[in-house]
């Protein structure tokens, strides 16, 4: 029986836009993550993937963002109820994050050595030389061929792939139970991307680390995850095992996303993309947020927002659609 590590329930995150106005970037999001699981979170740009991860990490200090409601229960403790200080002792130690652009999270004025030692000593009562030894071990563990030389380098002296490895080493240096990887390989070329993904799989099997993998690349989801959440306009619109998601997507948005992934050897060069664009947060349509772009939309879709409901016989599968995924509904056609 899998052991639950994280339960996000009804998470709603807002950004203040004026004295009395705010926008809702993440709306009533509910999902869970088991120990050792790699869960995919996919969706177009602006759908709320990063805001979901920042909400879990409690990283809104310098912005107008806040968790307006909902709970984020990590190993039995609601992170939304913790003080800044308590949260600081969890962040980096029990939950760590890998960002899309390593350069933005490594300090360009500090050698790799100093940054890793600082990260290790922040959460562990060890001497500088012990921390340095651990840093060197971490760099080898993430496949850096010459850890000593890398330790002495400044971030700008490293290639993109190497700095991403340093970031992962930094994220791993306190052996976190959970990692949030937000587009961890988007900035890298294909070969390095494959190596970094392989490395993340290794880490998961060695340490039973749970990984929330955020990406807009469905190929990465197919390769890495057992289960995935599809987000649209701040909401989860479909949740399914990766096999089910690819074999029989239900939500018309998921159908569109999958149809726009090139199939190997298909010879197809231009792919259908979903017509229209993501709605503006300050002007959300009434009803289903996808209705303006949905070729199946009917009057009910424009009036009432559907719930994220279990799909009958769907083995934990869920879908937010009035027309599909229900017993009385018809199957979505790609």
The reply to whether 49 sits near ligand ATP by the rule CB under 6 A is yes
- Listed in order, strand segments (DSSP E) in the chain are 4-16, 22-34, 38-42, 65-74, 77-78, 95-98, 178-182, 210-215, 227-232, 235-241, 309-310, 318-319
- Residue numbers 30-49 binding Mg ion by CB under 5 A: 49
Q: Which residue has the tokens 């790799």?
A: 112
Q: How many CA atoms lie within 13 A of 239 on its CB side?
A: 17
Minimal distance, residue 280 CB to ligand ATP, in Å: 8
Could you tell me if 113 and 128 are in contact, meaning their C-beta atoms sit under 8 angstroms apart? Answer: no
Q: Which residue has the tokens 């979505």?
A: 332
Q: Judged by CB under 6 A, which stretch of 46-54, 80-88, 205-213, 295-303 contacts ligand ATP? A: 46-54
How many residues in total does the chain contain? 334
The reply to whether 279 sits near ligand ATP by the rule CB under 6 A is no
Could you tell me if 249 and 318 are in contact, meaning their C-beta atoms sit under 8 angstroms apart? Answer: no
Q: Judged by CB under 6 A, which stretch of 47-55, 111-119, 187-195, 312-320 contacts ligand ATP? A: 47-55
The reply to whether 281 sits near ligand ATP by the rule CB under 6 A is yes
- Contacts of 82 by beta carbon, 8 Å cutoff, 6+ apart: 58, 90
Of 27, 50, 115, 210, the one binding ligand ATP by CB under 6 A: 50
Minimal distance, residue 197 CB to ligand ATP, in Å: 18
End-to-end CA distance of the chain: 35
Could you tell me if 177 and 210 are in contact, meaning their C-beta atoms sit under 8 angstroms apart? Answer: yes
Q: What x/- string results for residues 51 through 70 when contact with ligand ATP is judged by CB under 6 A?
A: x-----------xxx-----
The closest residue (CB) to Mg ion is 50
Q: 169: which 2 tokens? A: 């080493």
Of 24, 27, 50, 215, the one binding Mg ion by CB under 5 A: 50
- Residue numbers 219-278 binding ligand ATP by CB under 6 A: none
Minimal distance, residue 231 CB to Mg ion, in Å: 11
- C-beta of 158 vs 225, nearer to ligand ATP: 225
Q: Which residue has the tokens 């664009």?
A: 277
Of 66, 216, 302, 326, the one binding ligand ATP by CB under 6 A: 216
Interface residues with Mg ion (CB under 5 A)?
A: 49-50
Interface residues with ligand ATP (CB under 6 A)?
A: 15, 25, 43, 45-51, 63-65, 216, 281
């Amino acid at each position: 029986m899998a052991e639950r590590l994280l339960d996000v329930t009804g998470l709603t995150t807002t950004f203040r836009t004026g004295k009395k106005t705010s926008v809702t970037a993440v709306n009533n999001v509910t999902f869970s993550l088991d120990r050792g699981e790699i869960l995919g979170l996919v969706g177009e740009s602006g759908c709320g993937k990063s805001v979901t991860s920042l909400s879990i990490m409690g990283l809104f200090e310098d912005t107008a963002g806040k968790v307006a409601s909902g709970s984020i229960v990590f190993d039995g403790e609601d992170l939304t109820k913790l003080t800044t200080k308590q949260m600081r002792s969890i962040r980096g130690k029990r939950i760590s994050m890998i960002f899309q652009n390593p350069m933005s999270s490594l300090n360009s004025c500090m050698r790799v050595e100093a940054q890793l030692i600082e990260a290790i000593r922040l959460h562990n009562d060890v001497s500088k030389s012990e921390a340095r030894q651990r840093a060197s071990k971490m760099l080898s563990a993430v496949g850096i061929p010459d850890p000593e030389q890398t330790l002495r380098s400044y971030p700008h002296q490293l290639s993109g792939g190497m700095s991403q490895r340093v970031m992962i080493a930094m994220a791993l240096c306190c052996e976190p139970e959970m990692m949030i990887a937000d587009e961890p390989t988007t900035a890298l070329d294909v070969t390095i991307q494959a190596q970094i993904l392989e490395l993340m799989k290794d880490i998961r099997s060695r340490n039973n680390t749970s990984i929330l993998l955020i990406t807009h690349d469905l190929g990465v989801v197919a390769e890495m995850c057992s289960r995935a959440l599809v987000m649209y306009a701040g909401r989860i619109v479909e949740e399914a095992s990766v096999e089910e998601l690819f074999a029989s997507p239900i939500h018309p948005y998921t159908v569109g996303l999958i149809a726009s992934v090139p199939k190997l050897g298909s010879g197809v060069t231009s792919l259908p993309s979903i017509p229209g664009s993501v709605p503006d947060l300050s002007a959300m349509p009434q009803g289903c947020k996808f209705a303006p772009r949905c070729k199946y939309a009917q009057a009910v879709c424009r009036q009432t927002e559907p719930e994220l409901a279990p799909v009958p016989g769907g083995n934990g599968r869920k879908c937010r659609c009035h027309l599909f995924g229900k017993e009385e509904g018809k199957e979505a056609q790609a």
